[in-house]
Copies of this chain bind each other. A is one copy, B any other.
Amino acid sequence: MKMKKLNKILPALILTSISTVAMANSKVEKREVPTPVGISSELANIIENRVMPPHVPVPKNTQAWLEAQVIADQPAIETAKEVVERLNISYEAKQYAGVDTFFVTPETIAPEYANKWLIHIHGGAFVLGGGEAALREASWVADGIGAKVISIDYSKPPLHPYPAAIDDVVAVWKALTKTQSAESTAIFGTSAGGNITLATALKLQELGLPTPGALFVGTPAVDLKETSDSWHTLKGLDPLGEREGALSAAFELYAGGEKLDNPLISPVYADIKTFPPTIFISGTRDLLLSDTVRMHRKLRAADVDTQLHVYDGQAHADYMIGSVTEMPESEDALKEIGLFFNKYIN
């Protein structure tokens, strides 16, 4: 069937018939988008009061990156400390397998997690979110499912580009799996943390080491080379902002001269035959929705046990809002993570 004819009949199936307006590039017109109808009042309130970040200049050199890290991480560290207090989390900063970590303990430990630790890899575009900022997601999951968590304060650019972060996680993994079985352990992370979670699983396979029983991969950056579609289609709807500029520069800085389509840097380019069961979470306004579903399909193509959960109206990592304030969708996400882990590691 000829393309021209094909494209005439496709929309016709839905409602009507013939048109002549070609759209080589799809056109998005200027408009205002109302608050989503299908979300909780808590999330609606946040979206309606949301602020879009200002344009961030790209730091010009190592010193400027280091200074930007300190400035950007400061409010995230404050928030994480509030989360720790709000959820009555106990934590201890310590070196483990030669790596900086936080050992995070929730107020109540569920029986199935009494004798194990999960591993958390924080987000922050590969360059941010370190130090105590990492405690936010670690605490949210630890409290939400009642598990003890080792949150890894992995080595970061500008001083430590790829593969330093993955090496740190692998070191912790090797040490931890001396005392608990790999198949009863999960690794989890969001955004850059989701990327490093996936990359670590690939690296463990490469090394011939046992892999985790399950992964939770939240809205991961899986393609640092190409700009996935939702970066374009959802622009303006997600306070993550834009990929051009500081974010792209952070990706380059992380790669440290390595090719961006190296599967350990962009896991969507991996040749996957087997992989740990993985639960993905994203949102319909998430700039990384395309990255998320592309990776989901990549795993499904290899018949990996997966789950995909997409929350209506949510931007990048919004499911984690529940760490700082009550939100039903956050409770729901924790329920899904908990059920998935129960199925595969408990």
Q: How far is the CA of A240 from the CA of B11 in the complex (A)?
A: 6
Q: How far is the CA of A20 from the CA of B53 in the complex (A)?
A: 8
Q: Nearest residue in B to A323 (C-beta to C-beta)?
A: B13
Query: Which residues of the other chain, B, contact A191 by a CB distance below 8 angstroms?
Result: 14
A1-31 contacts to B (CB < 8 Å):
1, 3-4, 6-31
Interface 9-mer from A71-79, A102-110, A141-149: A71-79
Q: How far is the CA of A123 from the CA of B27 in the complex (A)?
A: 26
Chain A binding surface, main DSSP class: mixed
Contact A25 B34 (CB under 8 A): yes
Interface 9-mer from A112-120, A156-164, A292-300: A292-300
Query: Which residues of the other chain, B, contact A311 by a CB distance below 8 angstroms?
Result: 293, 297
Q: How far is the CB of A95 from chain B (nearest CB, A)?
A: 25
Q: Is A66 engaged at the interface, CB distance under 8 Å to the other chain?
A: no
Q: How far is the CA of A239 from the CA of B51 in the complex (A)?
A: 31
Q: How far is the CA of A4 from the CA of B48 in the complex (A)?
A: 11
Contact A1 B324 (CB under 8 A): yes
Interface 9-mer from A177-185, A202-210, A224-232: A224-232
Contact A228 B6 (CB under 8 A): no
Query: Which residues of the other chain, B, contact A230 by a CB distance below 8 angstroms?
Result: 284
Number of A interface residues at 8 Å Cβ cutoff, please give it. Answer: 107
Q: How far is the CB of A193 from chain B (nearest CB, A)?
A: 11
Q: How far is the CA of A75 from the CA of B18 in the complex (A)?
A: 9
Contact A129 B13 (CB under 8 A): yes
Contact A3 B46 (CB under 8 A): yes
Q: How far is the CB of A107 from chain B (nearest CB, A)?
A: 19
A217-244 contacts to B (CB < 8 Å):
223, 226-230, 232-237, 239-241
Q: How far is the CB of A163 from chain B (nearest CB, A)?
A: 22
Query: Which residues of the other chain, B, contact A64 by a CB distance below 8 angstroms?
Result: none
Q: Is A312 engaged at the interface, CB distance under 8 Å to the other chain?
A: yes
Query: Which residues of the other chain, B, contact A300 by a CB distance below 8 angstroms?
Result: 309, 332, 336
Closest 4 CB pairs of A and B: A36-B229, A25-B32, A11-B239, A37-B226
A-B contact pairs, 11 of them (CB 8 A): A8-B51, A8-B75, A10-B318, A17-B53, A25-B32, A25-B33, A27-B236, A29-B235, A31-B232, A229-B284, A233-B237
- Beyond contacts A31-B232, A37-B227, A38-B226: 4 other A-B pairs, Cβ-Cβ < 8 A, are A27-B30, A36-B229, A230-B284, A290-B313
